[in-house]
């Protein structure tokens, strides 16, 4: 005999699984800002609309700046940051199965009302072909009678929405300061002044010796005086004769 649907479902008691999912909805939110001030984990940024915000960065948080992974301690004023939050919303139907025991309070067609151990009466819809375990025997919904104790597996289907988020922070470092532009100008070099003519200095005369060399003798001078006096004597004598 083939195992009944109830027995198969009892093997999955208290299991939860997804039966169907509809189209996902993906929403992307992008926020851009510029770092203004950094101190420890405190960062002040300027938003695109000019608003100034103070942010406390969680320890261990990282960002991708120019392809490198950096922490809050690597941030510098002037860095451009971009935070992208991707939110995925997935509606789906979740089916939960559990085993219940109760007493038949009323049965009609595929509908049965059970009195649970808590005293609560609850109505269930029985799928076609479902078997109930009654005193160790398999029964269908049409075999149920008021007052019977039954054990069954209840299948509950509930819709739910699963929301997941993915955050990523990227950025770029500030550009290096620009190199001063060098402008070409016209420079005119003035010619050097011609050197002034300088007259040649006449050679200085040699000074006369202050005294005769020690090796010279006084005899020539004495002889010259003797000749001079003799000539003067002859001249005076001739002059007297004429007078």
> pLDDT for 114-145, tens place per residue?
898 888 998 888 877 777 777 777 878 888 88
Residue ending a domain, choose from 125, 145, 172: 172
CA distance 134 to 140: 10
- And the tokens for 228? 């001079």
Would you say residue 15 lies in a domain? yes
Is residue 209 in some structural domain?
A: no
Q: Is residue 84 part of a domain?
A: yes
The answer to whether position 39 is within a domain reads yes
Q: Say whether both 79 and 39 belong to one domain.
A: yes
At 111, the pLDDT band (50, 70, 90 cuts) reads confident
**Does 49 fall in a domain?**
yes
Is residue 109, in this structure, part of any structural domain at all?
Answer: yes
Please name the residues in contact with 18: beta carbons below 8 A apart, sequence gap of 6 or more.
92, 93, 94, 95
Same domain for 150 and 33, yes or no, is no
% of the chain residues with pLDDT over 90: 19
Domain membership of residue 43 (yes or no) is yes
Q: Which two tokens stand for residue 216?
A: 């010279």
Q: Which of 109, 137, 160 is the last residue of a domain?
A: 160
Interacting residues of 17 by C-beta distance below 8 A, sequence separation 6+: 94, 95
Which of 113, 140, 160 terminates a domain? The answer is 160
Q: Are 134 and 142 in contact (CB under 8 A)?
A: no
Cβ atoms of residues 27 and 89 within 8 Å = yes
Residues 110 and 17 in one domain: yes
> Are residue 42 and residue 123 in the same domain, yes or no?
no
- Number of structural domains found in the chain: 2
Assess if residue 59 is contained within a domain: yes
CATH code, domain carrying 31: 2.40.50.140
Place of tokens 């991707």: 86
Residue (of 148, 137, 159, 147) closest to 6 by Cα position: 137
Residue 28, pLDDT score: 92
CA–CA dist 11, 42 (Å, integer) = 55
C-alpha 234: how far from chain center: 132
Question: Quick one: 11 and 97 in the same domain?
Answer: yes
User: Is the same domain home to 30 and 139?
Assistant: no
pLDDT of residue 193: 74
Judgement on whether residues 125 and 17 belong to the same structural domain of the protein: yes
State the average pLDDT over residues 83-109: 86
Domain interval for residue 156: 5-22+92-160
Mean pLDDT of 139-162: 82
The pLDDT of residue 67: 87
Distance of CA 104 to the CA centre of its chain: 69
Report yes or no: 97 and 5 within 8 Å, Cβ to Cβ: no
């Amino acid at each position: 005999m083939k195992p009944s649907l109830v027995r198969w479902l009892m093997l999955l008691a208290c299991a939860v699984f997804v039966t169907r999912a509809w189209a996902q909805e993906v929403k992307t939110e992008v926020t851009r800002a510029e770092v203004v001030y950094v101190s420890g984990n405190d960062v002040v940024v300027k938003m695109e609309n000019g608003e100034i915000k103070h942010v406390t960065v969680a320890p261990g948080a990282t960002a991708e700046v120019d392809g490198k992974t950096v922490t809050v301690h690597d941030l510098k004023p002037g860095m451009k940051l971009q935070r992208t939050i991707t939110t995925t919303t997935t509606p789906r139907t979740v089916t939960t199965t559990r085993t219940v025991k109760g007493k038949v309070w009323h049965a009609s067609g595929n509908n049965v009302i059970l009195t649970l151990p808590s005293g609560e009466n609850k109505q269930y819809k029985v799928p076609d072909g479902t078997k109930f375990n009654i005193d160790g025997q398999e029964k269908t919904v049409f075999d149920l009678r008021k007052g019977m104790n039954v054990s069954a597996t209840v299948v509950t289907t509930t819709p739910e929405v699963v929301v997941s988020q993915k955050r990523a922070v990227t950025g770029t470092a500030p550009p290096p300061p620009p190199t001063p532009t060098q402008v070409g100008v016209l420079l005119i070099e003035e010619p050097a002044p011609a050197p002034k003519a300088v007259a040649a200095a006449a050679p200085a005369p040699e000074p006369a010796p202050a005294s005769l060399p020690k090796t010279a003798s006084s005899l020539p001078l004495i002889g010259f005086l003797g000749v001079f006096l003799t000539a003067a004597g002859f001249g005076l004598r001739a002059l007297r004769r004429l007078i």
